[in-house]
Structure 1
Amino acid sequence: MGIFDKIKEKLSHEFIDIVEWLDYTDDTIAHRFERYQNEIKNGAKLIVREGQTAVFVNEGQLADVFKPGTYDLTTQNLPILSTLKGWKYGFNSPFKAEVYFVNTHLFTDEKWGTKNPITLSDERFGLVEIRAFGTYAFKIADAGKFIVDIVGTDNNFTNFEINEHLKSLIATRFTDTVGEANLPIELYAANTSELSETCREVMMPEFMSVGISLEKFYIENVSMPEDLKKEIFEYSRIDKIDLDKLTKFKTAKAIEAAAANEGGTAGAGMGMGMGFVLAQQMGGMMSPQMGGQQNMQQQQQAAAMPPPMPQAVQYYYASNGSQTGPVPFEQLRALFAGRTINRDTLIWKSGMETWKPLNEVEELKQFLGGNTPPPLP
């Protein structure tokens, strides 16, 4: 053996390459191992740390992928690369290949939001606009696919480079999901947990198509214009309370306000609104020194005024399993004539203990006798 052969043998044992990547950043997703002319020696050590995956690429083609561990780079550990290189009987000289290290830890607290308002159609409020924002977390699930489809030849790929793409994807799929959910507008803000999970399931396949796993998706806030909020709150309160009690309550508050404003227009309005019903009571409480003639005049004025109009009866009716109303008698007649309700429709009014079919409510039986329109042609 010549002196040069001995030197070559010694160097081949002492200068074994180590292929590894120490990540000192929080935002790097993929890093290409830099080697002069991309040459890697036979038997070089490949060190893949926890939270990493190493991907070998040969002339643009995906080759071998390595999970955490330490490997000797020989034909035995590089079956795909060996096939691509045509190493039937092994190799002894350095070989060229690109090695990418992919960060597989969880990238958390990534922000997303709708750049423009989302227009939705609501049965009660018509077309409405909402905005939403939140956070998401992802990690690389298929390092080989991610390198080929997303990274390409980028030698240092960060999450900033893909965040804009992911945020656009999320905003688009979120818009589609809330549009198809067809929820009442007030329920979007109250069901963010269920909506978040639904959105994540919808988006997952598209993320996985490029090797990314959407691990978490959170909707932190669904906002809408202030005037719409007020309208929804008012509708919610009215829907929950008894309208008859609300009317009585507001009447009592009006009387209280009028009494506190003696001598003003509010006091005069209160007096007229009460229709002289309190005149007799007030006359009885007056001092006798005011004279019987004045008391007599007040009583005559009260007698000359008509009593207050009786309050119209309001009816509720059942439609599609929910309570609808109240509506006055004439409107109920119109609903019957228009076949919106029929003889079996459940009806309730103040004073009834239970709901009854229309044909069992005494004053509504007149709808049935000869007033039923003929069938449409």
Structure 2
Amino acid sequence: MGLFDEIKKKLSHEFIDIVEWLDSSDDTIVHRFERYQNEIKNGAKLIVREGQTAVFVNEGQLADVFEPGTYTLNTKNLPILATLKGWKYGFNSPFKAEVYFVNTRLFTDEKWGTKNPVMLSDERFGLTEIRAFGTYSFRISDPGKFVVDVVGTDGNFTNYEVNEHLKSLIVTRFTDTVGEANLPIELYAANTSELSETCQEVMQPEFGRVGIELERFYIENVSMPEELKKEIFEYSRLDKLDMTKLSQFKAAKAMEAAAKNEGGTAGAGMGMGMGFVLAQQMGNMMSQPTAQQAFPPGQTAAVPPPMPTQTLYHYALNGQQMGPVGFDKLKELFASRVINRDSLVWKQGLANWTALKDIEELKAFLGGNTPPPLPTE
């Protein structure tokens, strides 16, 4: 051992140590307190600041954990370490132990994303691919478990190192969650809040196993290939259209395009002719309101009664058949005394010619045909 080492060791025995960590970085999660040969003097002062936890490890085994405060290190304050060391009646300075300061503040706005597309199966579009990214927040909830299970012997464990571990876990659980959600592909982007909450519930037990608490988890965007976006857009439009009208409209557009084709007069003429016929059919169809447009659900169009048919009469005049004439014309002939009550009349439905006075609907003529008798004095 060199002279310098001897002097340093002697000084460490003569002065009470102060064990503390002043964090000058924004990304350090765990810092190992470095002492000469990991020796800490009996009665040393341990200072744990707010947002920190001090973890004592003996030969890879978790010992005592200290919350924020100031402590004097002795067998009273180190009960687990004293048991591990076999200190029954106190101990002599110095003692060896590894001290890890754990940053317990909330780490926010951490980024995550799917490096590779996530494969999903959709009933309408088959196998599809989506990508997603977002942010999350976490804190160390069990410093002892975290140091033993994650940090190990790393003397300066940073935010970057833990994020690499957490991102793999997040992507795996995200893939499982969206696969089990079994939503139509277009609804993933519209339900990011619900998916975020579900993913956080699924991931929290996984984080808790290594002493981490997942405070917040956000899915900011779910994207898909442009071709799939176009298919979904077209599908949503077609789902709200009258397919018959749409087919006829597209056929008319195709005929119109054929008519404009410069590939021959005969073909152009035929295309124009078919286009005109189809356009006329479409015009007739669209000019008639559909039952759905004109009437409320459950009601149908009222059918008007048939037009009344006029009864035609034939009449005999001077031994000749005249007519046919309508009811009003026959009444006019009766009023002008061309015919009288005994004139023979025939209409459809009568077996023989019949006197006017014997036809039921013509009896109305008789009321004004014969004047009443003259008054007597």
Q: Same fold by TM-score, threshold 0.5 exceeded?
A: yes
Q: Which moved more, 1:134-143 or 1:87-96?
A: 87-96
| One-letter amino acid matched to 2:276 | M
Q: CA deviation at 1:97?
A: 0.9
Report the equivalent of 1:157. Answer: 157
Contact 2:134–2:219 (CA under 8 A) maintained in structure 1: yes
Q: Is 1:168 paired with 2:168?
A: yes
Q: Is 1:218 paired with 2:211?
A: no
Report the equivalent of 2:240. Answer: 240
| One-letter amino acid matched to 1:272 | M
| One-letter amino acid matched to 2:132 | A
Q: Give the match's secondary structure for 1:102.
A: strand
Contact 1:106–1:138 (CA under 8 A) maintained in structure 2: yes
Q: What stretches of structure 2 of length at least 5 have no aligned partner?
A: 1-10, 286-290, 300-377
Partners of 2:168 and 2:208 in 1: CA distance: 16
Partners of 1:254 and 1:39 in 2: CA distance: 89
Contact 2:173–2:203 (CA under 8 A) maintained in structure 1: yes
Contact 1:258–1:267 (CA under 8 A) maintained in structure 2: no
From the superposition, tell whether residues 352 and 255 of structure 1 become closer, same or farther in structure 2 (CA, over 3 Å). farther
Alignment of 1:207-356 (within 5 A): 207-243=207-243, 269-275=271-277, 354=297
From the superposition, tell whether residues 266 and 137 of structure 1 become closer, same or farther in structure 2 (CA, over 3 Å). farther
Report the equivalent of 1:52. Answer: 52
Partners of 1:277 and 1:247 in 2: CA distance: 12
Q: Is 1:117 paired with 2:117?
A: yes
Contact 1:200–1:214 (CA under 8 A) maintained in structure 2: yes
Give the structure-2-normalised TM-score. Answer: 0.65
From the superposition, tell whether residues 355 and 36 of structure 1 become closer, same or farther in structure 2 (CA, over 3 Å). farther
Report the equivalent of 2:181. Answer: 181
| One-letter amino acid matched to 1:112 | W
Q: CA deviation at 1:253?
A: 8.1
Report the equivalent of 2:194. Answer: 194
Q: Give the match's secondary structure for 1:198.
A: helix
Q: CA deviation at 1:127?
A: 0.9
Q: CA deviation at 1:162?
A: 2.4
| One-letter amino acid matched to 1:57 | V
Q: CA deviation at 1:246?
A: 5.0
Contact 1:29–1:103 (CA under 8 A) maintained in structure 2: yes
Superposition RMSD on alpha carbons, in Å? 3.5
Alignment of 1:13-32 (within 5 A): 15-32=15-32
Report the equivalent of 1:302. Answer: none
Report the equivalent of 1:139. Answer: 139
Q: Give the match's secondary structure for 1:64.
A: strand
Aligned length: 281
Identity %: 79
In our comparison, the structure showing a higher alpha carbon Rg is 2
Q: Give the match's secondary structure for 2:134.
A: strand
Report the equivalent of 2:373. Answer: none
Q: CA deviation at 1:249?
A: 7.1
Q: Give the match's secondary structure for 1:121.
A: strand
Report the equivalent of 1:35. Answer: 35
Residues 46-103 of structure 1 deviation map (CA, whole Å, 9 limit, x = unaligned): 1111111100011111011011111111222111112112222223422111100001
Q: CA deviation at 1:275?
A: 2.5
Partners of 1:157 and 1:240 in 2: CA distance: 57
Partners of 1:63 and 1:79 in 2: CA distance: 8
Q: CA deviation at 1:257?
A: 9.6
Contact 1:46–1:73 (CA under 8 A) maintained in structure 2: yes
Report the equivalent of 1:339. Answer: none
Partners of 1:158 and 1:266 in 2: CA distance: 75
Q: Give the match's secondary structure for 2:108.
A: strand
Q: CA deviation at 1:223?
A: 1.2
Contact 1:138–1:214 (CA under 8 A) maintained in structure 2: yes
Partners of 2:142 and 2:228 in 1: CA distance: 45
Q: CA deviation at 1:19?
A: 0.4
Give the structure-1-normalised TM-score. Answer: 0.65
Partners of 1:12 and 1:153 in 2: CA distance: 24
Alignment of 1:49-88 (within 5 A): 49-88=49-88
